[in-house]
Amino acid sequence: MTGIPKTHPRYHSLIARENIVEGVNKGITSMQGLVAQGRGECFDYLLGERTVPSALLAEKITSALLLLADRPVISVNGNTSALVPEKMVELASVTGASLEVNLFHRTEERVSRIISHLESFGATRVLGARGDGRLDLEHARAIVDQEGIYSADVVLVPLEDGDRCQKLVEMGKTVIAIDLNPFSRTSKTATLTIVDNVSRAMANMISYSQQFEKYSQEELEEIADHFDNSTFLSEAVGELMENLKNQ
Ligand code: PTJ
């Protein structure tokens, strides 16, 4: 790992790069994941590397949705397992969600490495190795666990690649995407999209979920009531344009 001083103005971004590279070296992140991270960094830069107000609201709503769900699942891929392993384990524990490994560039070896990696951060049970359920897709993201994503009512999909998101929505699930690109197919097809860096989004959702743990069902429903994904996307685009104008 390159020594990055904490005083560096882009410390968090550089550490994320180091973590992704380490993920590739450990065999948990795909090489393609490096490219995806670069695209994310670019959008993050344009957004000012901060959580914009609409994203914070989406994170608040998501926390309520996860707590209200009967069978919530957090989908894990090679990028998120390198970037935010401990945060995913913590969010799952606070909200009662299951963690399930679901990969686009799937190999059974990578699935089991990611499971062990999450276990090293305290996860007790990670789904995804069984792969006994199928979504109607022609690539490996179709392989899911019956007791996990297949039967989930709410699925959190950080850094997704489009058509699985659509398929899950068609199956009647509430699908929440985390994607720094407000123009992506995933962002447009999810029930709700958090346009934020997965690292900041996870941290905010952990604190909201801790705060909401004692809330009644009615209070949570009030938070999660009536949202329109297109408003969140246009507000993110508005923030991006404003940021560009002010350069
Ligand atoms: O581990 P696998 O095999 O499942 O593959 C994972 C990747 C991410 C490689 C795969 O899902 C993929 O190719 O995704 P895409 O199509 O590149 O989409 C990823 C989206 O996430 C893009 O819109 C990026 O802008 C966005 N993104 C990248 N890094 C971050 C991010 N969003 C939030 N936080 C990030 N750190």
Residue minimizing CA distance to atom 25 of ligand 1: 40
Q: Which residues line ligand 1 (CB under 6 A)?
A: 30, 32-33, 36-37, 39-40, 43, 77-79, 83, 103-105, 159, 161, 178-181, 184, 197-198
- Which pLDDT tens digit goes with each residue over 161-184? 778 999 999 999 999 999 999 999
Return the pLDDT at 46.
95
Question: Could you report the predicted ipTM of this complex, rounded to two decimals?
Answer: 0.98
User: Has residue 92 got a pLDDT over 80?
Assistant: yes
- Which pLDDT tens digit goes with each residue over 212-245? 999 999 999 999 998 999 999 999 999 999 999 9
Would you place residue 205 in the very low, low, confident or very high pLDDT band (cuts 50, 70, 90)? very high
Q: Report the separation in Å between the CA atom of 164 and the middle of ligand 1, taken as the mean of its atom positions.
A: 13
- Domain parsing of the chain, residue ranges: 53-245
The closest-lying atom of ligand 1 relative to the alpha carbon of residue 103 is 4
CATH numeric code, 53-245? 3.40.50.12640
User: Has residue 141 got a pLDDT over 90?
Assistant: yes
Binding residues for ATP: 17, 39, 179-181, 185-186, 197-198
User: Has residue 56 got a pLDDT over 90?
Assistant: yes
* 3-state helix/strand/coil string of the chain: CCCCCCCCCCHHHHHHHHHHHHHHHHCCCCHHHHHHHHHHHHHHHHCCCCCCHHHHHHHHHHHHHHHHCCCEEEEECHHHHHHCHHHHHHHHHHHCCEEEECCCCCCHHHHHHHHHHHHHCCCCCEECCCCCEECCCCCHHHEECCCCHHHCCEEEEECCCCHHHHHHHHCCCEEEEECCCCCCHHHHHCCEEECCCHHHHHHHHHHHHHHHCCCCHHHHHHHHCCCCHHHHHHHHHHHHHHHHHCC
Arithmetic mean of pLDDT over the chain: 96
Binding residues: 17, 39, 179-181, 185-186, 197-198
Return the pLDDT at 2.
76
